[in-house]
Amino acid sequence: MSKTAAIHAAIWAQLSVDGKPLPSTGQEVMGSDYKYDERQMRSFLLNIHTRLASDTPSLSFNWASLDVHICLSDTVITLCGYISSETK
C-alpha cells in the first residue's frame, strides 16, 4: 500500500472508531464539522501514529510535530497532507 493510501485508510478507520461519519467530500473540517476539541485531536493524531506504525510496511508519523489548532481548523484532505509531510 502506498504511503498516501495508508494515511487515508488510517484516518478513515480512526474516524469510524471515534463514531464520526466518513468524509463525503474531504472538505469536512476536523473542529467544526467533526467536533473534535484539542484533547481529542491530540488523541486522534496519536492513534494515527499507532495505526501507521503497526502497518506493513511500518510508517513513522511524527504526530507531535503538528499544531493541533491548525489540524482542527483544516479539512480532512489538508490533514492528510500534513500527516504525509511528517511521515516516513
Give the model confidence (pLDDT) of 32-59 as tens digits: 999 999 999 999 999 999 999 999 999 9
Mean pLDDT of the chain: 97
How far apart are the C-alpha atoms of 63 and 50, rounded to whole Å? 10
Coil/strand/helix, residue 32: coil
Given a contact cutoff of 8 angstroms between Cβ atoms, the answer to whether 36 and 72 are in contact is: yes
Q: What percent of the chain has pLDDT over 90?
A: 98
pLDDT of residue 1: 84
Could you tell me the residue range of the domain that residue 70 belongs to? 3-19+27-85
How far apart are the C-alpha atoms of 9 and 84, rounded to whole Å? 12
Domain count for the chain, please give it: 1
pTM over the 0.85 mark: yes
